Structure formats: C-alpha cells, structure tokens
C-alpha cells in the first residue's frame, strides 16, 4: 500500500471526519460492485455447501448449468465459470477527462482553498497508486481500484499492510466476479473511469490521515483515520472493516505485517487499544407505555458485560471489541456481531437490529441501554 505523507491532510482532519462517506457515482458503486459481490458470494456459498442456488444466481453467466446443483437426485454440476478474456477486458477503460475527483471533494471543503488542498492530496495518491500497481494490471482497471480500496481500509483499520500475494489473490477474485457483472460490463467508458476515480478517492482520505498520524506518532490522528475507514466500510461495503479481512485471507491463513513476518490474518486485524470504555455495564430495556397513564421506565433484563481494553467478558464467555467515536462493536463471545451506539456513559443496542447502532440517534422504545458503573 502507499505510505507517502501529504501535509495538508492533517489540517483538514476535522473536515474529512464530518463529511459524508459516499459521494459521486454511488449508484454505480452499489449496482456494479456492492450488489454483485454480495450476490455472487451467496451463490458461491451455496455451491460449496452443495445446495440449490438462489434464483438471483441465474443472471450471472458463471453459474450457468449449476442452478440445480444440490437438489435431490441432481447430478454434480461444474462450479463457477472463469471469466473470459473479453469479460476481463471490459474492466479496463481508456482514461478520459472527467470531474469525478472535483465532484468528490466539493462537499468536503468549506472553502475553495480547502477543496484544492484535498484535490491535490487525492490526485497525488492516485498518481502513487498507478505508479506502484501499473505493472500488476491495476491501473485503469476497475477491479484494481476496488482491490486498492479494500486493501487500504484493512491496512488503516488493522495497522498491518496486506502481503503482495494476498493483494494479488484479491485482485484476481474481484476481476473474475466483476467481469461477469451485467451492470459493470454495460457501463460506459466514462462511468468506469469515474468509478475508478471515486474508489481511489474514497481510499485516499483514511490512508492519508493514517500515514500522517503514524509518521508524526499522533495517536489521535490514527484514531481519526480508523474511524473514517470504518465509516467508509459500512456505508459503501455495508460491512464491518474486520469482515473485509476475510477477502484477503490466504490458504495458509497468514500474511506479512508492516514489520515483517507472518501471523494469522484475524490476529493481525485486531484494532487499536480502545480508551474510555473500561468498566462493567448492566443492561436495561426502555419501555414506553401509552394510554390513560403514560409512563417511561427502564426494565432490567439480566444482561451485563465488562470491558477492559480491547476485550470484554460476560456470562456466556469472552470476546473482543472495536470502537469509533460513535459506536462499539463486539466480536466473539455471547454478543458476537452486536454493535451499539455510544450515548454518554452507555452503549445502546437497537431493538430490531443489534448489529446496526444507528449512531447519533436517541434511545427509542424497546432499545437496550447498557450503562457503565
């Protein structure tokens, strides 16, 4: 990954964190990438389990002939077809003059000077990316930009740079999947170029903050970079950053860290030390009763957990946590997959979806409030 420093980014850190994580060409990101990866992952999972493929798989050519695989009495069918040379070529584009980067930074800066600083920093990152990855076939290739986006988020969040071999496997897998996307293969050259620029720009912001923070030994800035990376992962990928690590997992289960040497991928993905959360939390559910006698009360529900550093413990076992300024995620143990909003000295889990913190919103009827003592 790229590790150059860009001085203007440090001064614009607050602007980056306050800005929305999704900008131009979001419709293309959603249709050509997010839905494609999600749907094909479902199809691949069904093939591995020898189950009948979901109906959505029918629109992808690589699953032709496998629609009945796993059905009772069905004969074994071949797995996903590899992408053809023509399909892979459809991921590439001829660079065109477009305003994707200008559009991307438009809402980030408050003044023309700030926007220009951001544009220069992102443009420099793009140039570095293309110089470093051109020989691997990533330049002017949508799959290359997408692999760079995922790899960057993982590096910023975990602090470890993915090994070149793992990056290559990710690029290959993305190339195969995206080359068979009806939405992407039908996109215009200009749209592919704009998507390419948007993905690189989206990766640049947390990367620049992280690199500057590590070089300046500024833990607060590193925290800001990881907060931004988490935000991008959730809004563009609809996934927690640690879940992206699986996309880089090798058969050996190891990769090389920035300091050299192999270590298990999931261990390398451990986030930074979480501060300001240590203590025991007892949980209650908000109950609002309407009618003749309106009342609001918190009812104990017998749940509790204790947080210490990056770990938590509870009745059903132990696990680890990661946190941003707005929420806390739980991994492993009885609360695996839960993510709660940070509200004052409490962590709030939503009634209908314990994995969606809806940070910044108030407590509603049925929500679980876990207060620290």
**pLDDT tens, residue by residue, 42-84:** 576 567 667 676 666 776 666 766 544 444 444 444 445 677 8
Q: What is the pLDDT of residue 60?
A: 67
pLDDT of 259 above 50: no
| pLDDT (0 to 100) of residue 99 | 84
Query: Across residues 190-208, what is the average pLDDT?
Result: 90
Lowest mean pLDDT among 90-94, 263-267, 314-318: 263-267
204: tokens are 């640049």
> Mean pLDDT over residues 15-39, rounded?
48
Number of H helices, E strands in the chain: 14, 10
Among residues of the chain, what percentage have pLDDT more than 90? 20
Q: Which pLDDT does position 24 carry in this prediction?
A: 35
Has residue 222 got a pLDDT over 60?
yes
**Structure confidence at residue 349 as a pLDDT band (50, 70, 90):** very high
Q: 36-70 burial string, b = 16+ CB within 10 Å, else e?
A: bbebbeebbebbeeeebbeeebeebebbeebbebb
- pLDDT digit string, tens, across residues 143-168: 999 899 989 998 888 887 888 888 88
Task: Record the pTM.
Answer: 0.58
For 284, residues 6+ apart whose C-beta sits below 8 A from its C-beta are 298, 299, 300, 301, 368, 369, 370, 371
Q: Which residues contact 300 (CB under 8 A, 6 or more apart)?
A: 282, 283, 284
Residue matched to tokens 């050259």: 189
Condensed to tens digits (0 to 9), the pLDDT of residues 291-328 reads: 444 556 788 999 999 998 888 999 888 889 988 878 89
Task: Measure the CA–CA gap between 84 and 134, rounded to whole angstroms.
Answer: 21
Average pLDDT, the chain: 75
């Amino acid at each position: 990954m790229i590790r150059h420093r860009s001085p203007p980014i440090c001064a614009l850190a607050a602007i980056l964190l306050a800005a929305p994580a999704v900008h131009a060409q979001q419709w293309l990101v959603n249709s050509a990438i997010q839905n494609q990866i999600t749907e094909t992952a479902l199809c691949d999972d069904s093939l591995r389990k020898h189950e009948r493929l979901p109906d959505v798989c029918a629109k992808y050519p690589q699953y032709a002939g496998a629609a009945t695989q796993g059905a009772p009495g069905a004969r074994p069918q071949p797995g996903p077809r590899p992408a053809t040379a023509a399909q892979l070529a459809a991921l590439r584009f001829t660079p065109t003059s477009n305003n994707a980067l200008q559009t991307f930074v438009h809402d980030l800066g408050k003044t023309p000077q700030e926007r220009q600083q951001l544009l220069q920093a992102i443009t420099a990152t793009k140039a570095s990316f293309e110089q470093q990855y051109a020989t691997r076939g990533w330049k002017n290739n949508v799959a290359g930009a997408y692999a760079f986006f995922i790899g960057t988020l993982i590096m910023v969040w975990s602090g470890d740079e993915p090994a070149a071999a793992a990056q290559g496997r990710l690029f290959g897998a993305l190339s195969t999947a995206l080359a068979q996307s009806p939405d992407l293969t039908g996109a215009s050259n200009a749209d592919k170029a704009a998507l390419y620029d948007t993905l690189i720009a989206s990766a640049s912001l947390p990367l620049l903050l992280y690199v500057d923070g590590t070089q300046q030994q500024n833990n607060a800035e590193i925290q800001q970079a990881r907060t931004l990376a988490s935000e991008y992962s959730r809004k563009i990928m609809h996934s927690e950053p640690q879940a992206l690590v699986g996309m880089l997992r090798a058969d050996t289960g190891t990769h090389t860290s920035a300091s050299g040497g192999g270590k298990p991928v999931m261990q390398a993905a451990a986030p930074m030390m979480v501060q300001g959360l240590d203590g025991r939390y007892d949980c209650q559910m908000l109950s609002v009763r309407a009618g003749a006698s309106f009342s609001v009360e918190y009812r104990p529900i017998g749940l509790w957990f204790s947080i210490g550093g990056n770990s938590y413990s509870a009745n059903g076992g132990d696990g680890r946590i990661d946190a941003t300024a707005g929420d806390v995620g739980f991994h492993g143990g009885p609360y695996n997959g839960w993510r709660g909003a940070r509200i004052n000295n409490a962590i709030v889990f939503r009634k209908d979806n314990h994995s969606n913190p809806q940070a910044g919103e108030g407590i509603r009827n049925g929500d679980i409030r876990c207060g620290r003592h």
